[in-house]
Amino acid sequence: MKYFGLIWAGLWRKKARTIFTMLSIVVAFLLFGLLQGINQGFNQAVQNLNLDRLYVSAKSDMTDGLPIAYLERIKAVPGVRAVSYWSYFGGYYQNSNNALPAFATDAEQLFKVYREIKVNPEYIEAMQRTRTGALVSDQLAKQYGWKVGDRIPVGTSIWTNKEGSNTWYFDIVGTFDLSAFGAGFPSFYLNHAYFKEAAAFGDGVVHYYLVGLDKPTLATQVSKQIDTMFENSSYETRTQTESALFQMQMKQIGDINFIANAIVGAVLFTLLFLTANTMMQSVRERTSELAVLKTLGFSDTKVLALVLVEALLLCVFAAAMGLFLASLVFPALKPIFGDFKMPLVVVGFGAGMALVLALVSGLPPAWRARQLNIVDALAGR
Amino acid sequence: MAALVTLRNVKKSYVRGKQKVEVLHGVDLEVEAGEFTALMGPSGSGKTTMLNLMAGLDQPTSGEVIVGTDRIDKLSRSALTDWRARNIGFIFQFYNLLPVLTAEANVEVPLLLTTLSRSQRRQRVQTALQLVGLADRAKHKPNELSGGQQQRVAIARAIVSDPTLLVCDEPTGDLDRENAEEIMNLLKALNRSQGKTIVMVTHDPRAAEYATRELHLDKGRLSREEVRHVA
Ligand SMILES: Nc1ncnc2c1ncn2[C@@H]1O[C@H](COP(=O)(O)OP(=O)(O)OP(=O)(O)O)[C@@H](O)[C@H]1O
Ligand SMILES: [Mg+2]
């Protein structure tokens, strides 16, 4: 590409202006990459959710809870593969700033419902043997420096125990790998039987029954059946699929899709004018230089191409920088979304947009350069 | 000897708004290979217009323009562009170098249009810069050079692709006496020792003295001619 030097020099004829324009494009594409990436991440997370899991909570309000006695009746529904449950325990370690996502559950059944969680079977057995046992995620163990065999105090402002104390002691009997799930997923499990017996009140109230199905196609049928079963009882239920639950939670954050598109649209629109203006100005300034090139034998098409490639170079390079920076930020989002990389479709779409930006902002000045009349331009007319 | 440049009854008019203005009213001229022609005349007499026609930058309204064996008034716009690259070297009053490129990169520009390899281009650029005495300024940008030096770079650019004809439009118009003399000596040397055919528009009678032939244009007509016999 022997014309590269010519194009490159043209691009940097006003360094400050080129850098400013470039930075604007970099920032815009960084924003685009982040927002669209996160957006895609959400969509992907929803799609990756298991349709073969149901969540049963109290119809009135999740916090009202359901009796533990529902367990056997839900288990008996045809199509149900495994049932476990979560009773919210909460609590904190050492001081109330270190909140723990602690839940009382039947761990053995829980790992049957969530087959994505990786756990050593020996730990499950240890949990069953140890009434005061606790299983924690690798990450949580690392965070507080817990090891198997440690006995740790957990404070709670809700669950006073039968000795009248607000501090419970648990023995860490094992850890599990929760990396398939994002932040906020329960990561501290205690034995529900112990919880039910030792808590001064509550009688082992269950906040969510977690139902694993034989196959995803049964979801609608089984959830209807469960809700019908408890209709008109004192504890009516509401059964949801995992993705419905997730989407409901996400709605509270707002319509991410819409916000992402609106922001990116506005930014790109502004960018289009900025870049087009830079290119037009740059071509206006060198009317006589372009005329000289034509005088020396550069064809109209060649001159058009020089200007267009200059715009392409500017836009594509800066856009690539922006997307690259965005992709660097993504690993930092891992705790929120779980395993998560910059989606390829966003990179592809970004590249397409950079091309459109280059063409739309580069074509008018390139066309102007093409149409330039040598004799008039040389005479300064 | 056959003429290198022939103008036959060349007329050129411009349309400004509704008005048609004839600038050249039927010019006949022959320039022979190896001649150094100075074209003089008052401002607005049509000197630049005539030069542009010979150089294939513009087309006559009527008449014939022949350079070498080519009827360039018959060439299409794009054919004319290619033809210029192969046949004409240009030198302007304001040098018209590309400010973002170094002297050597400026000189290289016409060679980008040829099939020469990178090293061949280097070689030629080097030779041209040596010929104008600026080999040591190859890496300088135009704004780091004096007017006279810039014009010498422009001359190097004009001769680097070894054109048939050099056209100069007031090459000393923007220079002081000393620099003007230097440039004129350089053009004279190119003419005498390299055998370059040169057509030069100038207002300066002193510059015209370097030429072998002096033409006068007045209101679009050639009015008189002097032939000098210089060594
Ligand atoms: N493209 C054009 N459109 C309209 N008029 C033109 C055009 N080019 C030249 N003219 C007119 O033609 C006449 C001759 O112009 P030209 O540039 O050839 O003169 P010149 O002899 O080179 O003058 P100067 O010594 O001032 O450079 C002028 O009156 C000029 O205004
Ligand atoms: Mg003129």
In this complex, the residue of A13, A288, A375 whose CB is nearest that of residue B57 is A375
Are A95 and A119 within one domain? Answer: yes
Tokens of B142: 């135009």
CA distance B198 to B31: 9
Please indicate whether, in this complex, the C-beta atoms of A9 and B48 are within 8 angstroms of each other.
no
Which residue does chain A place closest to B51, by CA atoms?
A375
Nearest residue to B150 via CA among B122, B126, B129: B129
Tell which wins on pLDDT, A331 or A11: A11
Query: How close, in Å, is residue B213 to chain A by CA atoms?
Result: 26
Q: What is the mean pLDDT of residues A325-338?
A: 75
Are A150 and A30 within one domain? Answer: no
Are A115 and A21 within one domain? Answer: no
Please indicate whether, in this complex, the C-beta atoms of B57 and A295 are within 8 angstroms of each other.
yes
Inform me whether the pLDDT recorded for A160 exceeds 80: yes
Inform me whether the pLDDT recorded for A323 exceeds 80: yes
For residue A127, the model assigns a pLDDT of: 95
Residue nearest to atom 28 of ligand 1 (CA): B44
In this structure, of A79-83, A247-251, B50-54, the range with the lowest mean pLDDT score is A247-251
What range defines the domain where residue A313 resides?
4-46+255-378
Please indicate whether, in this complex, the C-beta atoms of B84 and A297 are within 8 angstroms of each other.
yes
Tell which wins on pLDDT, A250 or A261: A261
For residue A240, the model assigns a pLDDT of: 87
- Per residue in A102-155, pLDDT (tens digit) is 999 999 999 999 988 999 999 999 999 999 999 999 999 999 999 999 999 999
Are A63 and A168 within one domain? Answer: yes
- Assess if residue A244 is contained within a domain: no
Tell which wins on pLDDT, A331 or A177: A177
- Assess if residue A337 is contained within a domain: yes
For residue A268, the model assigns a pLDDT of: 84
Q: Average per-residue pLDDT in chain A?
A: 88
Do residues A290 and A300 make contact, with C-beta atoms less than 8 angstroms apart?
no
In short, whether B23's Cβ falls inside 6 Å of ligand 1 is yes
- Assess if residue A228 is contained within a domain: no
Give the domain-ending residue among A159, A191, A214.
Answer: A214
Are A57 and A20 within one domain? Answer: no
At A219, is the pLDDT very low, low, confident or very high (cuts 50, 70, 90)? confident
Q: How many CA atoms lie within 13 A of A117 on its CB side?
A: 26
Please indicate whether, in this complex, the C-beta atoms of B81 and A300 are within 8 angstroms of each other.
yes
* ipTM score: 0.94
Q: How many residues does chain A have?
A: 381
Give the domain-ending residue among A183, A214, A245.
Answer: A214
Tokens of A201: 């009140």
Q: What is the mean pLDDT of residues B10-30?
A: 92
Nearest residue to A355 via CA among A3, A8, A25: A25
For residue B112, the model assigns a pLDDT of: 96
Give the domain-ending residue among A155, A190, A214.
Answer: A214
Q: What is the mean pLDDT of residues B140-163?
A: 95
Q: DSSP string of B16-42? A: ETTEEEEEEEEEEEEEETT-EEEEE--
Determine the residue of B13, B14, B59, B222 to mutate for testing ligand 1's pocket, defined as the one with the most ligand atoms within 8 A of the Cβ atom: B14
Indicate the CATH number for domain B3-227.
Answer: 3.40.50.300
Do residues A103 and A89 make contact, with C-beta atoms less than 8 angstroms apart?
yes
For residue B230, the model assigns a pLDDT of: 59
Residue nearest to atom 6 of ligand 1 (CA): B14
**What is the SS3 assignment for A72?**
helix
Q: How many pairs of residues across A and B have Cβ atoms under 8 Å apart?
A: 63
Q: DSSP string of chain B? A: --EEEEEEEEEEEEEETTEEEEEEEEEEEEEETT-EEEEE--TTSSHHHHHHHHTTSS--SEEEEEETTEEGGGS-HHHHHHHHHHHEEEE-TT----TTS-HHHHHHGGGGGS---HHHHHHHHHHHHHHTT-GGGTT--GGGS-HHHHHHHHHHHHHTT--SEEEEESTTTTS-HHHHHHHHHHHHHHHHHH--EEEEE-S-HHHHTTSSEEEEEETTEEEEEEE----
Q: Which residues, in sequence order, are bridge partners of residue A192?
A: none
Tell which wins on pLDDT, A217 or A85: A85
Are A135 and A9 within one domain? Answer: no
For residue A334, the model assigns a pLDDT of: 67
Q: Rounded to the nearest 10 degrees, how much is the dihedral formed by the CA atoms of B155, B158, B161, B163? A: -120
At A247, is the pLDDT very low, low, confident or very high (cuts 50, 70, 90)? low
- Assess if residue A365 is contained within a domain: yes
Q: Model pTM?
A: 0.72
Are A74 and A207 within one domain? Answer: yes
The alpha carbon of B9 and the centre of ligand 2 are apart by a number of angstroms equal to 21
CA distance B10 to B24: 7
Query: How close, in Å, is residue B183 to chain A by CA atoms?
Result: 21
* Integer angstrom CA distances of residue A86 from A49, A72, A166, A221, A252: 19, 15, 20, 23, 23
Nearest residue to B70 via CA among B82, B47, B168: B82
In this complex, the residue of A13, A299, A378 whose CB is nearest that of residue B78 is A299
The alpha carbon of B14 and the centre of ligand 1 are apart by a number of angstroms equal to 9
Q: What is the mean pLDDT of residues A149-165?
A: 92
Residue nearest to atom 12 of ligand 1 (CA): B23
Please indicate whether, in this complex, the C-beta atoms of A296 and B90 are within 8 angstroms of each other.
yes
Q: Which atom of ligand 1 is nearest to the CA of A376?
A: 1
Interface test with A, best of B52, B81, B86, B139 (most A CBs within 10 A): B81
Measured CB to CB, residues of chain B less than 8 Å from chain A are: 48, 52, 57-58, 77-78, 81-82, 84-86, 90, 92, 96, 98-101, 105, 109-110, 112-113, 118, 157
Q: Rounded to the nearest 10 degrees, how much is the dihedral formed by the CA atoms of A166, A169, A175, A176? A: -30
- Per residue in B156-190, pLDDT (tens digit) is 999 999 999 999 999 999 999 999 999 999 999 99
3-state secondary structure A98-143: CECCEEEECHHHHHHHCCCCEECHHHHHHHHHCCCEEEEEHHHHHH
In this complex, the residue of A9, A294, A297 whose CB is nearest that of residue B100 is A9
The alpha carbon of B48 and the centre of ligand 2 are apart by a number of angstroms equal to 4
Please indicate whether, in this complex, the C-beta atoms of A292 and B96 are within 8 angstroms of each other.
yes
Please report which ligand is nearest the Cα atom of B59: 1
Q: What is the mean pLDDT of residues A282-291?
A: 90
Which residue does chain A place closest to B88, by CA atoms?
A296
Interface test with B, best of A2, A4, A12, A295 (most B CBs within 10 A): A295
For residue B181, the model assigns a pLDDT of: 94
Tokens of A276: 């087009």
If one counts every other C-beta atom within 10 angstroms of the C-beta of residue A48, the result is 13
Are A28 and A62 within one domain? Answer: no
Amino acid at site B108: E
CA distance B173 to B183: 11
Those residues whose C-beta lies under 8 Å from the C-beta of residue A240, and which sit 6 or more positions away, are A54, A55, A57, A223, A248
In this structure, of A37-51, A52-66, A283-297, B190-204, the range with the lowest mean pLDDT score is A37-51
If one counts every other C-beta atom within 10 angstroms of the C-beta of residue B89, the result is 26
Inform me whether the pLDDT recorded for A208 exceeds 90: yes
Are A75 and A174 within one domain? Answer: yes
**What is the SS3 assignment for A83?**
strand
- Assess if residue A353 is contained within a domain: yes
Inform me whether the pLDDT recorded for A47 exceeds 70: no
Cα A364 versus chain centre, distance: 40
In short, whether A376's Cβ falls inside 6 Å of ligand 1 is yes
At A309, is the pLDDT very low, low, confident or very high (cuts 50, 70, 90)? very high
Residue nearest to atom 26 of ligand 1 (CA): B43
Q: What is the mean pLDDT of residues A298-326?
A: 94
- Per residue in A8-18, pLDDT (tens digit) is 988 988 899 99
Site of tokens 């600026």: B134
Number of domains in chain A: 2
At A170, is the pLDDT very low, low, confident or very high (cuts 50, 70, 90)? very high
Which residue does chain B place closest to A6, by CA atoms?
B101
Do residues A369 and A290 make contact, with C-beta atoms less than 8 angstroms apart?
yes
- Assess if residue A221 is contained within a domain: no
If one counts every other C-beta atom within 10 angstroms of the C-beta of residue B227, the result is 11
Are A70 and A128 within one domain? Answer: yes
